[in-house]
């Protein structure tokens, strides 16, 4: 009995972790999980060396990763060495994918949709990922991923106004954004930030008439600009893609 006790204690200290990685246009986010929940271990450049440093002393065996862009070969090799596979259009998921061209669908969008659905199955879901681009995706309460829309994110909108006009300055996100801008800088900032908020409100207003009940999931680095915290039926989940990757991994185990 004593020998079995010490073996059990040893197993506790030698937990094998699963790795989940979301590589976006700007950052790589990685989390590890031993079953009950995820722990974010890295957020930074998509570099194999930096990620490897964050994984030291962790026993990784398996997991799932996705990327919206080509990545360095060293990073691919690192994932392969750890048994972490890539999430692709061929990977089975617990949703019915109604996208007409699944091979062109960003896997981060589908992963976020699965993540939201794994947390809330009793309603229709609008999943908004606000990053370099802003995506609006729809999941029905029957488990159908209907697809969605892609729009420029906050920084892309600022850059587009500056680079494709003759006189408008490049404006940053920090500063006043009143209802009506009192100078050119405020007018641009208010137009971009308030315009994006109104886009979301427009989607919600239209979809609530057609899909009842409707719940909204917000994720991504710029999700705080939507200012929807505390509103009924809205869930702010910072790392929803990672949540979805783990859900997909467990579904396939």
- Co-location of 167 and 194 in the same domain: yes
The pLDDT of residue 185 is above 80 = yes
Q: Does 108 qualify as catalytic in the annotation?
A: yes
- Co-location of 232 and 252 in the same domain: yes
Note the pLDDT of residue 41.
96
The pLDDT of residue 122 is above 50 = yes
The pLDDT > 90 percentage for the chain reads 84
Note the pLDDT of residue 229.
63
The pLDDT of residue 51 is above 50 = yes
CATH number at residue 14: 3.30.420.40
Note the pLDDT of residue 14.
52
The pLDDT of residue 23 is above 70 = yes
- Co-location of 45 and 95 in the same domain: no
- Co-location of 136 and 74 in the same domain: no
Mean pLDDT score, 16-40: 92
- Co-location of 19 and 68 in the same domain: yes
Mean pLDDT score, 212-238: 87
Residue 38 pLDDT grade (very low, low, confident, very high; cuts 50, 70, 90) = very high
Three-class secondary structure assignment of the chain:
CHHHHHHHHHHHHCCCEEEEEEECCCCEEEEEECCCCEEEEEEECCCHHHHHHHCCCCCEEEEEEEECCCCCHHHHHHHHHCCEEECCCCCCCCCEECCCCHHHCCHHHHHHHHHHHHHCCCCEEEEEEECCEEEEEEECCCCEEEEEEEEECHHHHHHHHHHCCCCCCCCCCCCCCCCCCCCHHHHHHHHHHHHHHHHHHHHHHHHHHHCCCEEEEEECCCHHHHCCCCCCCEEECCCHHHHHHHHHHHHHC
Structural domains counted in the chain: 2
- Co-location of 111 and 96 in the same domain: yes
Residue predicted with more confidence, 154 or 35: 154
Domain interval for residue 55: 1-86
Note the pLDDT of residue 230.
62
The pLDDT of residue 9 is above 80 = no
Note the pLDDT of residue 10.
39
In this predicted structure, which of 61-75, 171-185, 225-239 has the lowest mean pLDDT?
A: 225-239
Mean pLDDT score, 128-143: 96
- Co-location of 187 and 216 in the same domain: yes
- Co-location of 148 and 230 in the same domain: yes
Beta strands across the sheet bearing 133-139: 96-97, 144-152, 133-139, 124-130, 214-219, 234-236
Which residue, 48, 66, 86, sits at the end of a domain? 86
Cα 34 from chain centroid (whole Å): 21
Which residue, 86, 113, 145, sits at the end of a domain? 86
Residue predicted with more confidence, 146 or 232: 146
- Co-location of 12 and 71 in the same domain: yes
Closest CA to 21 of 69, 85, 109, 81: 85
Which candidate in 108, 129, 137, 222 is catalytic?
Answer: 108
- Co-location of 72 and 133 in the same domain: no
Largest CA distance in the chain: 80
Mean pLDDT score, 141-161: 97
| Verdict on whether the full-model pTM lies above 0.75 | yes
- Co-location of 15 and 127 in the same domain: no
- Co-location of 109 and 186 in the same domain: yes
Averaged confidence pLDDT in the chain: 91
Which residue, 86, 121, 146, sits at the end of a domain? 86
Residue 248 pLDDT grade (very low, low, confident, very high; cuts 50, 70, 90) = very high
């Amino acid at each position: 009995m004593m020998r079995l006790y010490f073996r059990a204690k040893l197993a506790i200290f030698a937990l094998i972790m699963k790795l989940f990685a979301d590589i976006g246009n700007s950052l790589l986010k990685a989390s590890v999980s031993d079953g009950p929940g995820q722990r974010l271990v890295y957020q930074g450049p998509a570099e194999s060396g930096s990620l490897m440093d964050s994984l030291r002393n962790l026993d990784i065996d398996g997991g799932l990763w996705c990327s919206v862009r080509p990545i360095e070969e060293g990073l691919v090799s690192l994932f392969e060495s750890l048994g972490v596979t890539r999430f692709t259009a061929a990977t089975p998921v617990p949703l019915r994918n109604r996208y007409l061209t699944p091979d062109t669908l960003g896997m981060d969008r589908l992963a976020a949709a699965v993540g939201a659905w794994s947390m809330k199955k009793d309603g229709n879901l609008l999943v908004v990922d606000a990053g370099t681009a802003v995506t609006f995706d729809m999941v029905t309460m029957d488990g159908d991923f209907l697809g969605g829309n892609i729009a420029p994110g906050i920084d892309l909108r600022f850059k587009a106004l500056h680079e494709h006009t003759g006189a408008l300055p490049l404006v940053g996100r920090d500063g006043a954004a009143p209802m009506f801008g009192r100078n050119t800088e405020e007018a641009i900032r208010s137009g971009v930030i308030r315009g994006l908020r109104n886009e979301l409100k427009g989607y919600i207003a239209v979809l609530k008439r057609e899909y009842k009940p409707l719940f909204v999931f917000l994720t991504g680095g710029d999700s705080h600009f939507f200012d929807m915290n505390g509103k009924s039926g809205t869930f702010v989940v910072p790392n929803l893609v990672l949540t979805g990757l783990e859900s997909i991994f467990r579904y396939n185990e």
